[in-house]
Chain A
Amino acid sequence: MIRVLVAKPGLDGHDRGAKVIARALRDAGMEVVYTGLHQTPEQVVDAALSEDVDVLALSILSGAHPTLVPRIMELVRENGMDDLLILLGGIIPEDDVENMLSAGVAKVFGPGTDTNDIVRFIRERVKDE
């Protein structure tokens, strides 16, 4: 069973996209932990750790990804969660995508992404036991 944490770090109050993703992943047979709005990086990583998810799907629309994502990656490394697949969605300017990938994000999914593409990407990367 593939387990995913859909998380909304930071201060933006828009979780429509995150909820659409959560439902799509559930309908694809995955177990999706959703933690709600306004999460700190510490809360996000603590939830990923306790829930032992395979995938951490971050949704950020506030533009704060250049600070939030590196902080989250730092905590992920500190906790030795080296087998975690990290995805990023929301509003991420084209120029920032490369930085996000080199920070350790596996893939960035922008607005208008077909949810089937996300499901396919996860299934390719995560061994379902």
Chain B
Amino acid sequence: MKDLDELRQGIFHGQKRAIARGLTWIEQGRYEGKLLAQQLFSHAGHAHVIGITGAPGVGKSTLVNTLTLHLRNQGFKVGILAVDPSSPFTGGAILGDRIRMQDSVMDTGVFMRSLASRGHLGGLSRATFGALTLLDAAGFDKILIETVGAGQSEVEIMEMAHTTMVVLAPGMGDDIQAIKAGILEIGQVFVVNKADRDGADHTVRSIRSMLALSSEHPDWMPPIIKTVAEDGRGMEEVSQALERHHQYLIEHGLMDRYRWSQTEHVIEQAVSDLGERLIRQARLNSDWAKRVIDVGEGKIDADRVAEQIWHQSVQEE
């Protein structure tokens, strides 16, 4: 499976191997992968993308597993992307989200892929957007993205997902204070998992009082749902809340607005790739060292050098 057209056809037909190989191409960040993602983009835009974020250990993977079983029962095809952190020292990673997703992933209507963050900050990986586009084009109705265990700043998920679900667990106590300015602001649905433990109601109240202070959501009041993902309790309410939010987005024209900004993002990404290519070329150029010296000595501004590099590349083409 090496040919781009063959791969694309396989993806449209929902073939597991084609989807898997396509994701590898996109992750590798090579030219063929970018081309594939670009070609698939116009076929995407149909899925409802749901982000699942929260601190490590609150039960995100277990929740994704149970939610997937639930969504399958309703007839939806489900794609799952689960991001785990890469080691900043070796670049290696242990991707363990599959351990808790064994019940759901064997189903033919489910595709699950583990992604390593590969040095990307923000809770996702650089390839997440391309991977999302691929699963969307492959015909999955619901795409669940599980972020790395997130704290205050891993809020990138809100730009990728239509609906962001923030998962908490009882006993976090003052931790809620700590994250109020971070992921608590981006949730459209809140889940208090492991709700059979002491303190679940306290956690619910803390979230509610936090949300009362926020004016982020003029028309949408984020529901707070208690769940026990291990045995499926609360999962019906979660899937109803997700569906309600999806309807809300459609009725308010927000899905179209999202698609518009995603398309803008694709163009921005292409432009920034072009910028990176310019830098690579400029560094290979024989006058690079001279430019570095001149900027260092204040003979010329870096902005001016950037313009020179740009003009040079236009002339060469």
Binding site for B on A (CB under 8 A): 1, 3, 22-23, 25-36, 39, 42-43, 46-47, 49-52, 79-81, 129
Contact = CB atoms under 8 A, between A and B. Distances in A.
Given A50-B16, A52-B23, A129-B28, A29 B90 contact: yes
B91 A35 contact: no
B114 interface: yes
A31 B113 CA distance: 13
A32 B95 contact: yes
B86 A31 contact: yes
B90 A34 contact: no
Interface of B: 1, 16-17, 19-21, 23-24, 27-28, 30, 86-87, 90-96, 98-99, 102, 105-106, 111-114, 116, 118
B23 A34 contact: no
Given A22-B94, A80-B17, A51 B99 contact: no
Contacts of B90: 26-29
B20 A49 contact: yes
A32 B98 contact: no
Contacts of A50: 16, 19-20, 105, 111-113
A22 B98 CA distance: 14
A29 B92 CA distance: 4
14 contacts: A1-B116, A3-B24, A26-B87, A33-B96, A33-B98, A33-B114, A42-B106, A49-B20, A50-B20, A50-B112, A52-B20, A80-B1, A80-B17, A129-B30
Contacts of B87: 26-27
A34 B91 contact: no
A5 to B, nearest CB: 9
Contacts of A28: 90, 92
Report the 4 A-B pairs with minimum CB-CB distance, sorted nearest first. Answer: A26-B92, A36-B99, A52-B20, A29-B90
B115 to A, nearest CB: 9
A31 B20 contact: no
Contacts of B20: 49-52
A75 to B, nearest CB: 12
Contacts of A81: 17
Contacts of B21: 52
Nearest to B96: A34
Contact of A52 (B24, B94, B102): B24
B96 A79 contact: no
B105 A1 contact: no
B98 A47 contact: yes
B136 to A, nearest CB: 17
A36 B101 CA distance: 10
Contacts of A33: 95-96, 98, 114
A63 to B, nearest CB: 23
Contacts of B116: 1, 31
A51 B28 CA distance: 13
A22 B95 CA distance: 10
Nearest to A38: B102
A36 B94 contact: no
Contacts of B27: 1
A43 B91 contact: no
Nearest to B21: A52
A35 B98 contact: yes
Contact of A1 (B1, B98, B114, B118): B118
Contacts of A30: 92
Contacts of B113: 50-51
A50 B81 CA distance: 11
A26 B88 CA distance: 11
